[in-house]
Amino acid sequence: MTTKLLILGGTTEASALAKAVMQAGIDAVFSYAGRVAKPKDQPLPTRVGGFGGVDGLATYLRDNSITHVIDATHPFAAQMSWNAYHACAQEGVDLIALTRPAWQAQAGDDWHHVADIEGAVATLDGAAKRVLLALGKLNLPAFAAQPQHHYILRLVDQPETPPAVPHHTVVVARGPFDVAGDRALMEQHRVEAVVCKNAGGIGAEAKLHAARALNIPVIMIDRPKLPPSAVVATSEEILAWAKN
Ligand code: 3Y8
Ligand code: NAP
């Protein structure tokens, strides 16, 4: 069968891979979940929207003669990763994950590790503070359990419905972000705590440098359990793997 790649995208690494695959002239399709209004254009044929669970993805793989799947989704897109793992096993299609190492706390950091969103909500017990939620919109409803805080919400799109937290400021912005911009954001909004996911990578790490400089504590949500797929960190490794 001739090589045809499916790239499950949505990250900086996925975009870099798409460019490398196009330049290598390898037949491929790029896939977005359809989480934001206008996802970034890619130099490959692109599909947007869910596949319909494991079975939907398995059908897609068969119908489109996909020979290799690259899971280049965000480390917190665990459902997609597990679906890819099961669908590829079912269809006998090669699968590899392209991701970036987790961030590690450095000297001067004041991090409080929690296991998941619920853990982050629990650490916000207590007196009202000004909290930057750098989580996008999918996880916001959980924070309604701590309505006393003023939340600065950084979102990719203007929310269609009012956020579930009574006191909030919406900041519409799409990464990658820079340290000067994130530091100005935290000073302007008098941020007293930052809640974020251990996404890793360069597109979202600016807030960590800004928080360190301003001595602001960070509630760091650790990564969810991901499937035992082979993992690489560079497009070059993917291109070599896809040639097999
Ligand atoms: C739709 C597609 C690229 C990819 C760029 C990366 C970097 C900039 C930083 C903060 C953290 C957050 C969020 C974030 C970053 C990159 C990357 C990354 C974090 C786009 C994109 C899609 C999404 C979906 C979006 C989620 C949200 C998460 C915002 C494109 C821009 C918080 C993750 O408001 C919403 O609805 C946002 C939804 C899923 C997490 C969530 O749970 O809400 N990403 N982000 C993808 C799809 O439809 O399949 O237009 O580029 C991509 C990027 N966002 O090609 O250069 O590589 O991670 N994305 C987090 O890290 O915690 C922002 O604010 O500091
Ligand atoms: P998720 O919870 O793991 O996935 C939920 C469902 O969304 C999946 O079961 C699948 O639907 C669909 N889906 C997810 N990624 C897809 C893709 N690339 N192509 C087609 N369908 C996809 O994922 P998520 O956390 O909502 O993330 C959605 C997208 O945003 C991903 O592409 C991810 O890389 C990107 N992103 C997420 C985060 C984050 O913090 N979660 C951060 C940056 C970027 P079906 O079951 O119907 O197939």
What is the full per-residue pLDDT of the chain (244 aa) written as tens digits? 799 999 999 999 999 999 999 999 999 999 999 999 999 999 999 999 999 999 999 999 999 999 999 999 999 999 999 999 999 999 999 999 999 999 999 999 999 999 999 999 999 999 999 999 999 998 999 999 999 999 999 999 999 999 999 999 999 999 999 999 999 999 999 999 999 999 999 999 999 999 999 999 999 999 999 999 999 999 999 999 999 7
- Write down how long the chain is: 244
pLDDT at 219 (0 to 100): 98
How many angstroms does the Cα of residue 70 sit away from the middle of ligand 2? 14
Q: What letter represents residue 162's amino acid?
A: P
Alpha carbon 164 to chain centroid, angstroms: 22
Q: Is 40 in the pocket of ligand 1 (CB under 6 A)?
A: yes
- 36 CA closest ligand 2 atom index: 30
- Cβ of 114 less than 6 Å from ligand 1: no
Which stretch of DSSP H or E encloses residue 112?
A: strand 111-114
Ligand positioned closest to the Cα atom of 36: 1
Q: From the CB of 10, is ligand 2 less than 6 Å away?
A: yes
pLDDT at 5: 98
Is 231 touching ligand 1 by the criterion CB < 6 Å? Answer: no
How far apart, in whole angstroms, are the C-alpha atoms of residue 181 and residue 207? 9
Encoded tokens for 165: 């937290």
End-to-end CA distance of the chain: 12
The whole-model pTM stands at: 0.96
Q: Which residue's CA is the closest to the ligand 1 atom numbered 42?
A: 138
Report the separation in Å between the CA atom of 217 and the middle of ligand 1, taken as the mean of its atom positions. Answer: 22
Residue among 127, 110, 118, 107 nearest 194 (CA): 110
Closest approach atom of ligand 2 to CA 135 = 40
Whether 139 is in the pocket of ligand 1, judged by its Cβ within 6 Å, is: yes
What was the pLDDT predicted at 1? 78
199 lines ligand 1 (CB under 6 A): yes
The side-by-side arrangement of strands in the sheet containing 218-221 is 111-114, 218-221, 193-197, 130-133, 150-155, 168-172
Output the CA 146–ligand 2 centroid distance in Å.
26
For residue 76, give the ligand nearest its CA.
2
69 SS3 class: strand
The pair phi, psi for residue 230, each rounded to 5°, is -65, 145
